[in-house]
């Protein structure tokens, strides 16, 4: 990790809200948006400042057809955000993505998105995904920018703690 730059990647199943998350959190419209019928067919990237850090914020394509890109995006990441679509619930893809992130051994947080129309209890999410109490699980709504900055701040804090010990 360079001193003040963090690479953060948002993962999540198809349609979970990753592109919306990146745009609302950063307050930027993506300059390059590879989309076909609203499905991301490339990856999303913005650069933003948060606290003392310059964040290189990426989001992966959710469609399984583009899963070959996940490893490329994950290379060199300092932390990950797993976005879950609360209107769909926890799916096999979410289980797969947790395993994928764990394999990279980086701090991660879980955002349970679309909280404006549906919500899942964080305790149940933890139980279903079989993750420890230390992993932050935060209800978000990307569309109304609810709790997005809290997700990023929790991740930054977890990354900072990991690098102290």
Ligand X SMILES: Nc1nc2c(ncn2[C@@H]2O[C@H](COP(=O)(O)OP(=O)(O)OP(=O)(O)O)[C@@H](O)[C@H]2O)c(=O)[nH]1
Q: Is 110 left (phi over 0), alpha (psi -120 to 50) or beta?
A: beta
Binder to ligand X among 57, 58, 62, 84 (CB under 6 A)?
A: 62
The whole-angstrom separation of Cα 144 and Cα 159 is 26
3-state SS assignment for residue 16:
coil
91 and 128 in contact (C-beta within 8 Å)? Answer: no
Query: Is residue 117 involved in binding ligand X (CB under 6 A)?
Result: yes
19 part of the interface to Mg ion, by CB under 5 A: yes
Smallest separation, CB 113 to ligand X (Å): 5
Residue nearest to Mg ion (CB): 40
Site for ligand X in 64-103 (CB under 6 A): none
The phi and psi torsions of 8 (rounded to 5 degrees) equal -125, 135
Q: Which residues contact 119 (CB under 8 A, 6 or more apart)?
A: 86, 112, 139
Q: Pick from 114, 135, 158, 159 the residue near ligand X by CB under 6 A.
A: 114
Rule CB under 6 A: is residue 26 a binding residue for ligand X? no
Within positions 31 to 70, which residues make up the interface with Mg ion, using CB under 5 A? Answer: 40
Q: Which residue is closest to ligand X by CB? A: 62
How many Cα atoms occupy the beta-carbon half-sphere of 32 within 13 Å? 9
Report if residue 141 touches ligand X, rule: CB under 6 A.
yes
Report the Cα 28 to chain-centroid distance in Å.
17
Q: Is 139 in the site for ligand X (CB under 6 A)?
A: no
Q: How far is the CB of 43 from ligand X (least distance, A)?
A: 9
Residues that bind ligand X (CB under 6 A): 12, 14-20, 38-40, 61-63, 113-114, 116-117, 141-143
Residues that bind Mg ion (CB under 5 A): 18-19, 40
């Amino acid at each position: 990790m360079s001193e003040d730059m963090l690479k953060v990647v948002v993962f999540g199943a198809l349609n979970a809200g990753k592109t919306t998350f990146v745009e609302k959190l950063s307050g930027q419209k993506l300059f390059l948006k590879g989309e076909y019928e609203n499905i991301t067919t490339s990856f999303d990237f913005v650069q933003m400042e948060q606290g003392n850090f310059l964040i290189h914020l990426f989001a992966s394509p959710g469609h399984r057809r583009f899963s070959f890109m996940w490893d490329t995006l994950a290379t060199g990441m300092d932390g990950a955000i797993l976005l879950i679509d609360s209107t769909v619930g926890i799916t096999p893809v979410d289980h797969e993505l947790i395993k994928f992130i764990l394999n990279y051994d980086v701090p991660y947080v879980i955002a349970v998105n679309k909280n404006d129309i549906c919500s899942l209890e964080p305790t149940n999410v933890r139980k279903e995904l079989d993750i420890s109490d230390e992993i932050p699980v935060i209800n978000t709504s990307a569309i109304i920018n609810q709790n997005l900055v809290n997700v990023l701040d929790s991740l930054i804090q977890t990354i900072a703690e990991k690098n102290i010990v």
